[in-house]
Structure 1
Amino acid sequence: MGTTVFTKGAWFLVPGLCFLTSVPVFAEVQKLALQQVVEVSLQNNGDLMSFREEKGIRDAARTRAGLLPNPTLDLEGGTGALTGSSAENNLAIGVSQEFLLAGKRDKRLTVVERELEAYHWQLADRERTLREEVKAVFYDAMLAEQRLKLTDHSIELNRQLLEVTKDRLAAGDIPELEMNLAKVELTRSEGVRIEVERALLQTRARLFTFMGLPAGEAPSIAGNLDNGLSLNKNLADLKQLALGKRPDLKALEAEKSRGDADVALARSESIPNLTAGLAFRRDTTSMDIGGVEGKDTAYTIGLKLSMPIPLFDRNQAGVQEARAKRSSTESRWTAVTRNVERDVETAYASLLNAEKVLSLYKSNIIPQLEENLKLTQEAYRLGEVGILSVIQEQKKFFEVSDSYLTALHARQVAFVKLESAVATDINGGAQ
C-alpha cells in the first residue's frame, strides 16, 4: 500500500516541473494589455493632465505678446472762476499712442513661439517618463502575479505531500515526525502566499494610480514576462537614435533658440519706444476795453512726439541677463547630451547582462533542477531517501523558480529602460 500511495504522491509532484515553461492563461473579461494600460495612463494621469493644461498659459503669453499698447486718452480743463476771471476757461482733449520700435513685437512673438516649442517637447518628455514608469510597474505586477501562481502551486504540492505522509503513516512506513514536517511546509507556503498577495495588491494600486483610475476600479491586466523581445540594433545605432529623438534634448534645443530670441529682444529693448499724441484745444479769454468786456476764443490742434533719451539705461542688464540664460541653457544641453549617451550605454549593458543571466537559467539551471527534483521524488518513492531530501529539493526548486521569474522581470525592465533612454519603441516607432 505504501508503494502505491507514494507513487501517487510522486505523480502529483511532477506537474510542478512544467510551471515555468507553460502557465495556463484563463480568459477574463476586460483584461488590459500593456499598450492599453499605457494609453489609459497617458490620457488620465493627473500630473500629466495638469501639465497639459499649462498650454493655456503659453497661449495667453502668445496673445499678450502680439497685442499693441493701448492708446491713452488725455482730458484737460481749466477755469478762472477761482482767480476772479470767470470768463476765462480752456478745454483740451487728446489721444496718444505708443509705437514699438526695432521690431519688438515680432521679437516678442518669436520668444513665445520658442517657449511653446520647448513646452511641446517638455510634454513629450513627461509622456516618455510616464511610459517608462507605467511599463516598469506593469511588469512589477506581472511578476507579483506569477509569484502568486508559483506560491499557489507550492501550496498544492505541499498539500499533496501531506496527504501522502498521512497515508504512509497509517501504513506504518514513516514516523509521525515526517507528517509534522509536511504540515510545517504547508503552513509556511501559505504564509508566503499572504506576503506575495499583499505585494501584488500594492503594486496594482500603484499601477492604477498612474492610470488615474477612480477608487474602486481595478481592471484585470494581461501580459507575459517572457514575450520574446528582440534587440536588432547595436550600441552606436541606439545612441544615434537617442540623440535624434530624445524629447528632453529637443526641449533644450528649443530653449537655446529661445535664448537667442531673448538676446535679440533685449537688444531691441535698448531702443526706446516712440509716443505720438494728437490734441485739440479750446482757449477762451476775456479783456476789458473802455468798460466793455470782450471774449476771444481760440482753437488749436497740436501734435506731440515723445521718446525717452537712452542716456543712462540702455537695457544693459537685460542683455546681460539674456546672455547668461542662453549660456546656462547651452551648458545644460551639453551635459544632457553626455547623460543621454551614458543612459543608453547603461541600459544597453543592463539588457545584455539580463539576457546572459536568463540564458543561464534556461540552458543550465532550470533543466538540471527539474532533473534533480525528478530523481529525488523517485528515490523517495523507493524509500531510498527521507522526506527531508524531498522538502529540501522542492524548496530549492521553488526558490530557483522565483529567481528565474526575477530574471525574466529584470530583462523586461532593462528593455523598458533602454526604450525610454532611446525614446523609441525598438520594435515599433518613436515614442
Structure 2
Amino acid sequence: MGTTVFARGALLLVPGIAVLLSSTLVRADEPSLSLPKVIEYSLQNNGELKALREEKGVRDASKFRAGLLPNPTLDLEAGTGALTGSSDENNLTIGVSQEFLLAGKRDKRLTVAERELEAYRWQLADRERTLREEVKAVFYDVMLAEQRLKLTDRSIDLNRQLLEVTKDRLAAGDIPELEMNLAKVELTRSEGARIEVERALLQTRSRLFAFMGLPAGEAPAIAGTLDNGFSLNKNLADLKQLALGLRPDLKALEAEKGRGDADITLAEAEKVPNLTAGLFYTHDRRTDATGTGEEKVRDNLLGIRLSMPIPVFDKNQAGLQEARAKRSSSESRLTAATRIVERDVETAYISALNAEKVLSLYKSNIIPQLEENLKLTQEAYRLGEVGILSVIQEQKKFFEVSDGYLTALHDRQLALVKLESAVATDINGGVQ
C-alpha cells in the first residue's frame, strides 16, 4: 500500500514545470487582467503620468501668451494754474498708445512656444515608454512569485504523500520512526517556505497595483505566463537604427535643440526695438493778454505720438548669448544621449541572447535529466535500495533547479522588456 501511495505522489510531481507554467492564481468569479490590459490601465490611471499630462495646459497657456499682442495704453494728463496764481489756465490731454512688435517677434515667439510644446509631447511619450517597462517588469515579477507559490504547493503535496508512505511503512515495520520524523520536518519546512513566497507575492502585487493607480482595497486577478515565445529576427545594427529613429527621449532632445535655434532667431529679432504709436487729444484753456485787455483762449488739438527706444547700450547681447549657450547645451545632451541609447540597445541585445542561451540549457539538458533522476530515486526507494535521505535530497534538488528554471524564464522576459524599451518597439514591431 505504501509504495502505491508514494507512486501517486510521484505522478503528481513528474508533469512539474509544464503544469506550473500553464496555470495562474485566478479566482473563478473574478475577471483576470492580461499584460496588455494591465499596461493599458496603467497608462490611463497612473498618478504620475496623469499629473504629467495635466502639464500640457501650462504649455498651451505659454503658446497662447506668445501669440497675444501687447495691451494698448491709456494716457491721461491734466494741468491747472490754480496753485500758481493762474486759475484761468488749465489743460487736459487724453491719449491711447499701442506697442507694435517689429522684426516678426510675435511669429518667432510662437515658434519657440510650439517647439516647447513639441518637446513636452515627446517627454510625455518617453515617460509612457518607461512606465511600460516598469509595469512589464513588475508584471513578470508577479508571474514569477505566483509560479514559485505553485512550486511550493507541489512540494507540500509531495511531502504529504511521502509522510503517508512513511507512516504505512512504519506500521509495517519496514523503516525506523526516524524516517517518519524526517518526512514531518520536510513537510513543515515546505509549509514555512510557502508563507515566505506568499508574502513576496503580496508585496509584488501591491507594487503592480500602485503602478496601475488602483485605489486601496482593489486587487484584481492577474493572468499571464513566463514562457512566452520569442524570436529575435533583427540584428544589432538594425535595432540600433530603429532606436535612433523611434526613441522619444531622443526626439524630445531634438525638439529642445530646435527650440534653441528658435530662441537664437528670437534673440536676434529682440535687437530691434519695438515701436509705440499713439493718438492724443488735448484741450487747452488759457488767458491771452493783448494790449490793455485779456482774452480767454481755448485750443483743441488732435495729434499722433511715436516713440522707440534707441539701442545704444542694450542690443540684447545677453539674451543672444544665453540663447546660444542653451542651444549648445541641448546639442551636447543630444549627442551624449545618442551614444547612451546605442549602448543601451547593445547591452539589452546581448543580455537577451545570453538569457535565451541559459534558458535553452535548462530546457534541453537540465530539466529532462533532473526529472529522470527523480524517477529513478523514487523507484529505488520503493524497492528498498536507497533510504529516505536520498529521496529527500533528490526532491530538494528538483525543486531548487525548478526554481532556477523559473528564474531563467523570468530573466529572459526581463531582458526582452529591456530590449523593447531600449528600442522603443514591441517585439511584434509596434512602436511604444
In which range does the TM-score fall when normalised by the shorter chain? over 0.9
- Per-residue deviation at 1:169? 0.8
C-alpha deviations, 1:45-101, integer Å up to 9, x for none? 000000000000000000000000001000011111112221111010011111111
Structure 1 distance, partners of 2:19, 2:191, is: 23
What amino acid does structure 1 have at the position aligned with 2:337? V
Gaps of 5+ in 1: none
How far does residue 11 in structure 1 lie from its aligned partner after superposition? 2.6
Aligned twin of 1:383:
384
In the aligned structure 1, how far is the partner of 2:289 from the partner of 2:326? 70
Match of 1:236 in 2: 237
| Bigger mean CA offset, 139-148 vs 268-277 | 268-277
Provide the C-alpha distance between the structure 2 equivalents of 1:353 and 1:289, rounded to a whole number of angstroms.
Answer: 110
More displaced, 327-336 or 19-28? 19-28
TM superposition shift of 1:291? 6.4
Q: Which runs of 5+ in 2 are unaligned?
A: none
- Rounded to whole Å, the distance in 2 between the matches of 1:156 and 1:291 is 131
Query: Percent identity over the alignment?
Result: 78
Structure 1 length-normalised TM: 0.97
Which amino acid in 2 is paired with 1:25?
Answer: S
The farther-off stretch of 89-98 and 281-290 is 281-290
For residues 301 and 423 of structure 1, the distance between their equivalents in structure 2, rounded to whole angstroms, comes to 67
Indicate the SS of the match to 1:22: helix
Matches of 1:263 and 1:365, distance apart in 2 = 64
Query: Aligned partners of 2:14, 2:115: CA distance in 1, in Å?
Result: 60
Amino acid at match of 1:123: L
The structure-2 alpha-carbon separation of the partners of 1:265 and 1:290, relative to structure 1 and needing over 3 Å to count, comes to: closer
**Cross-structure match for 1:183:** 184
How far 1:305 moved relative to its partner?
A: 1.2
Following superposition, the deviation at residue 14 of structure 1 comes to 2.9
Provide the rounded CA distance (Å) in 1 between the counterparts of 2:5 and 2:184.
18
Match of 2:354 in 1: 353
Q: What does 1:186-205 align with in structure 2 at a 5 Å threshold?
A: 186-205=187-206
Counterpart of 1:296 in structure 2 is 297
Q: Which residue, out of 3, 7, 17, partners 2:4?
A: 7
Contact (CA 8 Å) 1:14, 1:374: kept in 2 or not? Answer: no
Q: Deviation per CA, 1:230-252, whole angstroms, max 9, x where unpaired?
A: 21111111111111100001111
Structure 1 position 310, deviation (Å) = 0.9
Q: 1:420: which partner in 2?
A: 421
SS at the partner of 1:282? strand
- Which one-letter code corresponds to 1:376 in the other structure? T
Find the aligned partners of 1:285 and 1:109 in 2 and give their Cα distance: 51
Deviation at 1:8, TM superposition (A): 2.1
SS of corresponding position for 1:334: helix
Structure 1 vs Structure 2 CA RMSD? 1.2
Q: TM-score by structure 2 length?
A: 0.97
Q: How many residues align?
A: 428
CA contact (8 A) 1:129 1:420 kept: yes
Query: Could you tell me which residue of structure 1 aligns to residue 23 of structure 2?
Result: 25
Secondary structure at the aligned position of 2:97 is classed as strand
- Residue identity matched to 2:7: A
Counterparts of 2:327 and 2:286, CA distance in 1: 62
Instruction: Return the alpha-carbon distance in structure 1 between the equivalents of residues 117 and 143 of structure 2.
Output: 39
What amino acid is the match of 2:295?
G
Residue type at the aligned position of 1:128: R
What is the CA-CA distance between 1:222 and the residue it aligns to?
0.6
